[in-house]
Amino acid sequence: MAHPLLRPQPLRAWQFEDLLDTPDDGYRYEIFDGTLLVTPPPPMPHFTTLYRLRRALEAQAPAHLVVGENLGVLRRDGTSYFIPDLVVFDADLLGSSVAALPPAAAKLVVEVVSPSNPSNDLVLKRAGYAMVGVAEYWIVESGAREVRVLTEPGPTGYLVEEKRSGEMRGTAPFPYELDLTKIFA
């Protein structure tokens, strides 16, 4: 089989199995509604925000939930596949043979907006996560020093959006308190 990135376009919409042949080159390969998305590795400011947020969430997460990175969320038909910066899911799935999480298993997905591709997180993934029913989606905007919390997904998008800055508290997917001034320091 020819390398999927070198195949003539368009034979058909991209599917999850096409990603199994992508190179391990540090780029992130995702699919939105059959279209391939390729993004470069994140720069240090993105990584720093993600690192601080993950540590803060992990410190508060109950043992039955995992706060993880680099695990994709896959739509059942294989035509949309996203790799969120962070994902919270049940620890029971650790060690399973799933190639990616079904959307219902993702209790929370988090994307830190990168200057190189802000529309992926603000538009495409926002629509994609809502379309497949991910319960809660956080868009972390370092420049604005705020987090958009999106809930109540539907086929046309998330019905509820709240912007948070400073102190951030919530109960889903578990009770947490975050000092965003430390996350964005």
Q: What is the pLDDT of residues 40-88, one digit of tens each?
A: 888 999 999 999 999 999 999 999 999 999 899 999 899 999 999 999 9
Percent of the chain surpassing pLDDT 90: 80
Q: Which pTM was predicted?
A: 0.91
- Is domain 44-183 annotated with CATH 3.30.420.40? no
pLDDT of residue 5: 55
pLDDT of residue 170: 96
Judge contact between 117 and 146, C-beta under 8 A: no
pLDDT of residue 185: 83
pLDDT of residue 10: 52
pLDDT of residue 1: 41
What is the average pLDDT across 135-147?
96
More confident residue, 16 or 11: 16
Judge contact between 88 and 67, C-beta under 8 A: yes
Mean pLDDT computed over every residue of the chain:
92
CA dihedral 132, 130, 95, 57 (to 10 degrees): -170
Where are the domains positioned within the chain? 44-183
Backbone angles phi, psi at 51, to 5 degrees: -60, -50
CA atoms of 55 and 59, how far apart (whole Å):
6
